[in-house]
Amino acid sequence: METFEMIQSRKAVRKYSGQITDEQLNNILLAANAGSVGLGKFDEYRLTAIQKPEILSQMTGIYDAPTVIVVSGKNNGLMDGNSAGTIVHNMELEAENQGLGANYNMASLGFIPDGVIPDGFKPLFALTLGQTDETFTPREISLKRIQTNIVK
Tens of pLDDT, residues 6-27: 888 888 899 999 999 999 999 9
Rg (CA), the chain: 16
- Mean pLDDT (the chain) is 93
DSSP string covering 69-112 = EEEEES--SHHHHHHHHHHHHHHHHHHHHTT-EEEEE-TTGGGP
Residue 18 near residue 99 (C-beta atoms within 8 A): no
Residue 1: the pLDDT is 59
Tens of pLDDT, residues 68-118: 999 999 977 777 888 999 999 999 999 999 999 999 999 999 999 999 999
Residue 76: the pLDDT is 72
Query: What's the predicted TM-score (pTM) here?
Result: 0.92
Q: Distances from the Cα of 60 to the Cαs of 15, 99, 107, in angstroms?
A: 14, 25, 8
What percent of the chain clears pLDDT 70, i.e. is strictly above it? Answer: 99
Residue 148 CA, distance from chain mean position = 26
What's the CA gap between 54 and 142, in Å, rounded? 43
Residue 51: the pLDDT is 98
What's the CA gap between 70 and 30, in Å, rounded? 14
Tens of pLDDT, residues 110-149: 999 999 999 999 999 999 999 999 988 898 999 898 999 9
Residue 86: the pLDDT is 93
Residue 25: the pLDDT is 98
What percent of the chain clears pLDDT 90, i.e. is strictly above it? Answer: 74
Q: Give the angle subtended at the CA of 36 by the CAs of 93 and 113, to the nearest 5°.
A: 70
CATH code assigned to 3-130: 3.40.109.10
Residue 79: the pLDDT is 78
Quickly state the pLDDT bin for 3 (edges 50, 70, 90).
confident
What's the CA gap between 107 and 151, in Å, rounded? 36
For residue 62, give the amino acid letter. I
Q: Work out the burial of residue 139: count CB atoms within 10 Å of its CB; fewer than 13 is exposed, 13-18 middle, 19 or more buried.
A: exposed
Residue 109 near residue 137 (C-beta atoms within 8 A): no
Residue 54: the pLDDT is 97
